[in-house]
Chain A
Amino acid sequence: MPNRRFGKGIVRMTLRSSSAIFVLWASAAGSEVRDERTYNLYGVPGLIDTPTAEMAPDAELAATISNFGDIRRTSLTFQILPRLSGTFRYSAISNFTNPASVNGVYYDRSFDLRYQVLDEGRIRPAVAVGLQDFIGTGLYGGEYIVATKTLAPGLKVTGGLGWGRLGGLNPIATTGTRPAELLGQGGLPTYDRWFKGDVAPFGGISYAPNDKWKFKVEYSSDLYAEESTSGQFSNKSPWNFGVDYRFKGGSQLSLYHAYGSEIGAQLTFALNPRTTGIGGGVESAPLPVAPRSAGSARDLGWTADETRIASAKSSLKELAAKDGLEIEAVTLEGTRATVRMRNPRYGAPSQAIGRLARAMTRSLPASVETFTIVPVVNGMAMSAVTVNRSDLERLEHSAATDMYARTQISDAFGLAPGPDAGIYPKFTWALAPYVQFSVFDPDNPVRADVGLRATAKYEIAPNLILSGSVAKKLGGDLDSITRTDVSNLPRVRTDRALYSAQGDPAIEYLQIAHYGRPAKNLYSRVTLGYLESMYAGASTELLWKPTSSRLALGAELNYVVRRDFDQLFGVQDMETVDPVSGVRRTIPNVNGHVSAYYSFGNGFHGQLDVGRYLAGDYGATISLDREFANGWRVGAYATVTNASFEDFGEGSFDKGLRFTFPLATFGGTPSRVANTVNIQSLTRDGGARLDVNGRLYDQVRDYHDPDVANSWGRFWR
Chain B
Amino acid sequence: MKILEPLIFDLSAEGRTAVSLPACDVPEEAVETLVPPAYLRAQEPELPQVSEIDAVRHFTRLSTFNHGVDSGFYPLGSCTMKYNPKVNEALARLSGFATIHPYQPENLTQGALQLMAELQDDLAEIAGMDAFTLQPAAGAHGEMTGILIIRAYHEHRKDSKRTKVIVPDSAHGTNPATAAMAGFEIVQVPSNERGGVNLEELRKVANDEVAALMLTNPNTLGLFDENITEIAKIIHDVGGLVYYDGANLNAIMGIARPGDMGFDVVHFNLHKTFATPHGGGGPGSGPVGVKEFLAPFLPKPVVKKQADGTFAMDYERPLSIGRVRSFYANFGVLVKAYSYIRSLGGEGLREASENAVLNANFLMQVLKEHYYVPYDRVCMHEFIITPKNLKEYGVHTLDIAKRLLDYGYHPPTIYFPLIVEEAMMIEPTETESVETLTQFAEALIKIAEEARTDVELVKNAPHTTLITRLDETGAARHPNIRWRKA
Decide if A and B are genuine partners: no
Contacts from A to B (Cβ < 8 Å): none
Contacts from B to A (Cβ < 8 Å): none
